[in-house]
A and B are shown apart, each in its own frame.
Chain A
């Protein structure tokens, strides 16, 4: 491990590289996606697909129809993933693995369909290639495309005037997969293979390690899954160690590339948004808000880990427990910040082993509501919902019925936005609270799941529910989550945490699309200035802090402040 000064230099270098790369991709990918979702031409293969599923690619849907399509598609997805796991033993390339338990299959099915990719199991020793490919990799693509589709539908709400429609889900889904996710992940997979990530169907390999002991390591189609795992902010690894495993993430530069991949689409969508509503400055304000949170989180986490107290960290120059020696501290913390801020949940280091305050940063990242920049699509619609709240309070303060991008924020809009921000915190707190409130469950947690009793054990449970409700998927992995209660509760929380907000987002999109646009005047609150960025940051911080301050105090703060 390098001295602290060198680590900070490395931090600056990596961050600068990411900012430059993202700056370029933000513009080009953002513009490209705007064209994808506003274009009227269909590809031949797309037209064929619409014919097969019986959709009319040229018609638009009302918000209700759009929502029904999203829900139907996702529920069928859950059923398929569940069934494929249940019949694993009869599938080819099962690697001789048994079928996972019912609660585990339930949890995994929801986890992948909701773009959470929480893994209660050890993937390399639980699921064979068939399940990984037909069920999980497919969901990695489609769940990401669903997220983007919902975000685009909301943007259309701001864009359209007096229409009852918000686009066509089947078109958005198909284009997202075929024109955005597939091409980029193919390129990314090739780059990852070039970087040393494995791609084979070799099954379990028995190897002798340098210390003379033997190990059994499965090969597999890792690179192809790794690309979409990051690009789609999924995060479900092929190996239990996730991106800390050398077969998934062999070198420092593949590490940086994977961070870039997971930030790529979330940071480009604000540009798409600005393009579609016809005012790029609006997109810049959004991306600035996201960017400031991302920078602040990175700085805080790197600082927490580099300045860790205690004998071991002092000797090592930083908190090295749970981090890969190949990456060092800052390459781990940048990954850690980015993965918790994007609802990816992939990890290249163990968040559970971070310092208490570092752990608090990763927890808080998720508690912000996955909006900086958030999951693919989910981050975009999440931050727009917060913008609606910010605009409402600020709009009142300038003496006008609040409006955002020319759309009035009336009682109906406010109801939907309020319910949206209410959902995730309620799921986190009720989930965690119930886990400790019901005596039988608490006893089970203490006996089976929590290996670090006390504040840290509490943080692990809190982290699990925060991760599930926000569809992140990362874990304080010291917890044993493969129990009936955690599999079921987290499964339910993931499902509700994904789809209840989507209901409100699409309803809001519908109600906005119906409105006419109010022309902007000197009396209109400008939403593209630094002032508004500050307002968004303030609103987000305040709402998050007020909701989670007590539990953070009980968990990481009680542990870290001594």
Chain B
């Protein structure tokens, strides 16, 4: 077990604001060693398309070296420049290197992060409790404590961590409360409170306790802590190919095999027609038509996709989960904290009887001045801000019995706010006209999903009057309605989960614009809902932080655990959001989709490119024997040698040109599938057909300047 033992500022900051996503020169330089190391055929083998290119590069190099001694092979393309074979060989190596470069740059970004995480890891001393007794001494005040290296800690050990010390390993607090600086993990400098029991009991190894003293039970094995996993993830070491990536690789490998057959069978046929061509030209043709562009960029795209998640402060436990996020069709969102601000707020005062609006506002404020709850504060805010509590006023706090709170003023008068029925009892007789109005207002507020609080006052003589009603309601976060509409356009259904009664739930659901809701939800209901959705073929994503969320997080296809949550929840989910922001789910879905779109678009581009390359190479190969085929040279390329070399150069350069796009991802806007497809087909399909015609022609004009071409 290793631990971070330094202060917060040198911590990695995976915050998007602090990390540029554009390519920098230093990234490029750092990637260079890796670029050459990856030429190792044992590594290359995993990428069949580029492996073929490397084999071709080797073959042409050998031929180029042998050529001065054995003479160039016969070619239907006529006499070629003496440097032709060498030029082709050089550009083939460049093609392979460019592919390696893309992968190395993508990996480099993660490595930089891992480096700063790892650089800070040293062993630290832990105070291990021997013979911890949960019942007799929960705070481990009497227990004997032994100093142990943090790497020695085992699953289930109990340690004490005091203010200023670094937590030696991942665990759950079993006693005590502390403020903890987690910036080493989250990049967020504000300390967070961790306490035993409840959903905020998990602590992460490497974070620092700032105040108080806690007893922690270690929940991770050495080498498998959160930080270790994080390092492996950002480094891409544990990257496994995702199902879609495997499927795409299969398609690319098949195309490569077809084209290999095309090229291998070409010479025997051409020989019958006295058109046999040289091996160098055949290799050039092969490399041009196999899907090198996507083959070169495929793994960079995958790594960059994971990296984008990290930039959003989300750790995915597998690439599979990122891909699943793109497929999500149902999103379960907790109401509290995700859809609403989490606390009910006063939004309206409704005066009754003779009371004026201003009077009601004042009385409501008075009754709430001493109310520390968020609801109370919101009443004060709505009434125009806090004022001093009148001198010598007696504070009447809320209790479960009275279900009211308020003030008894010095002059003997009293103000109260509370549940309707209790206020009615407290006031005594209410005039019939006021009662009718009151009932109407209370019903209206309840039906709209709000909570009515009745305000009343008593004079010193004890005559009570109902003054009006405060409308408390759950306030939906700004901009959510638009985001849900966006999700709907993407084909994702949102379901709100709440413990509220169906009436309230329905009203909030309507206001937030979610598609469906689950009211009075228990963890079992939530689980049942996920299973039901999955039965119907839907892919479900949800967020959760509590231990009782764990089963549902495990069952969901994408389960995002909040970093503030329990370790059970973090274990169960397949992603952890370091910012603990449940609306992040929407970004995760977007990143998942973007990853797939980038792969698909570059595949289309890569295959569409082939058309132009055929028009460059085929006439160059055979026009010497069949002059009629010169008609196919629609780009009017200068000579057979310049045509073939230009196609190869274009093929290599396009990889470099597309590295930034592969790392950044194709732009994605929430729109229906057919309109996204239409756009991407136009850009990458049609563009993929046209671009190489232009590119090859331009390169040909330059190549023509070389003597002999």
Docked-complex contact A550 and B618, CB < 8 angstroms:
yes
Is B536's beta carbon under 8 Å from chain A? yes
Q: Which of A395, A426, A517 contacts B537 (CB 8 A)?
A: A517
Docked-complex contact B685 and A538, CB < 8 angstroms:
yes
Docked-complex contact B681 and A399, CB < 8 angstroms:
no
Is B538's beta carbon under 8 Å from chain A? yes
CB proximity of B494 to chain A, nearest CB, Å: 12
Docked-complex contact B677 and A397, CB < 8 angstroms:
yes
Is A432's beta carbon under 8 Å from chain B? yes
Docked-complex contact A522 and B601, CB < 8 angstroms:
no
Is A398's beta carbon under 8 Å from chain B? yes
Is B657's beta carbon under 8 Å from chain A? no
Q: Which of A400, A454, A549 contacts B326 (CB 8 A)?
A: A400
Docked-complex contact A393 and B603, CB < 8 angstroms:
yes
Q: Which of A414, A426, A517 contacts B247 (CB 8 A)?
A: A414
Q: Which of A399, A402, A421, A549 has the most CB of B within 10 A?
A: A399
Interface segment among B101-109, B257-265, B311-319, B467-475: the answer is B257-265
Tell me the bound Cα distance from A433 to B264 in angstroms: 8
Is B283's beta carbon under 8 Å from chain A? no
User: Per-residue 0/1 for A424-444: is the Cβ within 8 Å of any B Cβ (1 yes, 0 no)?
Assistant: 011001101110110000100
Docked-complex contact B604 and A393, CB < 8 angstroms:
yes
CB proximity of A441 to chain B, nearest CB, Å: 10
For window 251-274 of chain B, which residues contact chain A by CB distance below 8 Å? 251, 253-254, 257-259, 261-262, 264-266, 268-273
Docked-complex contact A397 and B265, CB < 8 angstroms:
no
CB neighbours (8 Å) of B622 from chain A are 553-554, 558
Interface segment among A324-332, A335-343, A378-386, A404-412: the answer is A404-412
Tell me the bound Cα distance from A558 to B275 in angstroms: 11
Q: Which of A392, A437, A523 has the most CB of B within 10 A?
A: A523
Docked-complex contact A401 and B326, CB < 8 angstroms:
yes
Closest to A426 in B: B261
Is B672's beta carbon under 8 Å from chain A? yes
CB neighbours (8 Å) of A518 from chain B are 329, 537-538
CB proximity of A406 to chain B, nearest CB, Å: 7
Tell me the bound Cα distance from A557 to B599 in angstroms: 35
Docked-complex contact A397 and B680, CB < 8 angstroms:
yes
CB neighbours (8 Å) of A430 from chain B are 261, 265
Interface segment among B37-45, B359-367, B573-581, B605-613: the answer is B605-613
Docked-complex contact A531 and B262, CB < 8 angstroms:
no
Is B629's beta carbon under 8 Å from chain A? yes
Closest to B600 in A: A396
Is B632's beta carbon under 8 Å from chain A? yes
Q: Which of B262, B618, B674 contacts A529 (CB 8 A)?
A: B674
CB proximity of A161 to chain B, nearest CB, Å: 9
Tell me the bound Cα distance from A455 to B36 in angstroms: 46
CB neighbours (8 Å) of A557 from chain B are 628-629, 632
Interface segment among B11-19, B26-34, B588-596: the answer is B588-596
* Given contacts A399-B594, A442-B272, A414 and B677 within 8 Å (CB-CB): no
Is B678's beta carbon under 8 Å from chain A? yes
Q: Which of B243, B492, B632 contacts A553 (CB 8 A)?
A: B632
Docked-complex contact B673 and A392, CB < 8 angstroms:
no
Interface segment among B160-168, B423-431, B483-491, B496-504: the answer is B483-491
Is B310's beta carbon under 8 Å from chain A? no
Q: Which of B254, B270, B632, B672 contacts A421 (CB 8 A)?
A: B254
Q: Which of A396, A406, A419, A519 contacts B254 (CB 8 A)?
A: A419
User: Per-residue 0/1 for B663-701: is the Cβ within 8 Å of any A Cβ (1 yes, 0 no)?
Assistant: 000001000111011101100110000000000000000
Docked-complex contact A400 and B603, CB < 8 angstroms:
no
Docked-complex contact B632 and A418, CB < 8 angstroms:
no
CB proximity of A377 to chain B, nearest CB, Å: 24
CB proximity of B210 to chain A, nearest CB, Å: 43
Closest to A412 in B: B247
CB neighbours (8 Å) of A399 from chain B are 326, 592-594, 596-597, 668, 676
CB neighbours (8 Å) of B592 from chain A are 399
CB neighbours (8 Å) of B275 from chain A are 554
Is A551's beta carbon under 8 Å from chain B? yes
Docked-complex contact A436 and B673, CB < 8 angstroms:
no
Interface residues of B (CB under 8 A from A): 243-244, 246-248, 250-251, 253-254, 257-259, 261-262, 264-266, 268-273, 275, 285, 289, 323, 326-327, 329, 488-493, 536-538, 592-594, 596-597, 599-601, 603-604, 607-608, 610-611, 614, 618, 622, 625-629, 631-632, 668, 672-674, 676-678, 680-681, 684-685
Q: A396-B600, A522-B490 are in contact. List 17 more A-B contacts (CB 8 A).
A: A394-B677, A396-B601, A397-B597, A400-B596, A406-B537, A414-B247, A426-B257, A434-B268, A437-B265, A518-B537, A519-B329, A519-B538, A546-B258, A554-B275, A557-B628, A558-B629, A562-B628
The contact sample of 23 A-B pairs, CB cut-off 8 A, is A395-B596, A396-B248, A396-B603, A397-B604, A399-B668, A411-B243, A414-B251, A415-B250, A421-B254, A422-B257, A429-B265, A430-B261, A455-B273, A455-B626, A458-B272, A462-B269, A519-B329, A519-B536, A551-B262, A554-B275, A557-B632, A561-B628, A562-B627
Interface residues of A (CB under 8 A from B): 389, 392-402, 406, 409-411, 413-415, 418-419, 421-422, 425-426, 429-430, 432-434, 436-437, 442, 454-455, 458, 462, 516-519, 521-526, 529, 531, 535, 538, 542, 545-547, 549-551, 553-554, 557-558, 560-562
